[in-house]
Structure 1
């Protein structure tokens, strides 16, 4: 029964990282969750909107189970307009989770799907689970860095500001020493 184990293992990790993504918004102002923090405009709320959009497409369209709401167009999914609220976007993401979770529960891990934008478009649920988990984790890493830039918050239980100050000093010493060699 490795198939059932693999499916549940991947799905469990996906559920955990989704929640972590939303925690990145906690305690921040509207401006801070939306403001562009890189030269390409990457921002926290935009990452959440992007993940919601693509999870809806992958666990919807790909398996003939379209998400029942409008999904943002390509190119509009990485940022929030001034008319979109935090609650609307996070609510959209949570509704996508419910839809995706229903798709994952209903299908076997080897259920066929079709991703027309992939070079090898015929896939299994397993492929999509791995892809979405990978992408969500990748963007959660981006969100970790953005959040740290905004207010120094690091999602590392048991590590306080003194720990990170000492760690940064140690790394800086190593970098300076290496530069002299």
Structure 2
């Protein structure tokens, strides 16, 4: 039996991840919200675009409530990773506005259906396609928080801004010198550990040889 308040509790964690992702775009230029910061092209606006498709699908088609707007970048004939970046003719306002509408649509599904409402994820294998709303909320929450973590790293690479909330309440310090000293300490610890490992490997030698002299036959 589901405990009272469980749905609100799950929904709150989903919203926490959504909000953390969105404020990572605050105050950035058009270039910075779009530019790829990893070898695989991770970028802030692309993460929002991607999650628009994720929430529209999981809270829509899964429960027979398709999102009313076409999302051409998630169709079967879309090019690879089309949902992971914003084209020049897709404005920031377009993508953020879409995510706002998708979020309201998903919230309606969460509000109107019971947690044990059955659904089917058509893009999952048949043996696991049958789901319930509570499982989908958990699944989407995990994905949203995963991408919020990506956004956190990308934003730090852009201008050094960090934290899960506005004001960085979850960070131990706002002092740039503190962070420089902290990073240097970690760098030194990594070098020390690597040197110790290399020394240990040299002592053991190839194929497990510990370097000891062979025993005398006489």
TM-score range, shorter chain: over 0.9
Unaligned 5+ runs, structure 1: none
In structure 1, the partner of 2:144 is: 136
Is residue 166 of structure 1 aligned with residue 181 of structure 2? yes
Offset, 1:179: 1.5
Change (3 A) 1:93 1:125: same
Residue 126 of structure 1, aligned match among 126, 130, 134: 134
CA distance in 2, matches of 1:162, 1:85: 37
CA distance in 1, matches of 2:139, 2:30: 30
With the length of structure 2 as denominator, give the TM-score of the two structures.
Answer: 0.79
The equivalences for 1:1-181 within 5 A come to 2-74=2-74, 75-119=81-125, 120-155=128-163, 156-157=168-169, 159-160=173-174, 161-181=176-196
Q: Please provide the CA RMSD for this pair.
A: 1.4
Structure with bigger gyration radius: 2
Change (3 A) 1:4 1:106: farther
CA distance in 2, matches of 1:3, 1:37: 43
Equivalent position SS for 1:87: helix
Offset, 1:166: 2.5
Unaligned 5+ runs, structure 2: 75-80, 197-218
Deviations 1:98-135 (A, max 9, x none): 11111000011110011011121000001110110000
CA distance in 1, matches of 2:177, 2:96: 33
Conserved 8 A contact 1:56-1:71: no
Number of aligned residue pairs: 181
CA distance in 1, matches of 2:124, 2:63: 14
Offset, 1:40: 1.7
Change (3 A) 1:4 1:105: farther
CA distance in 1, matches of 2:178, 2:66: 47
Deviations 1:18-58 (A, max 9, x none): 11111010111111111111122111000010011110111
Offset, 1:4: 4.1
CA distance in 1, matches of 2:161, 2:180: 13
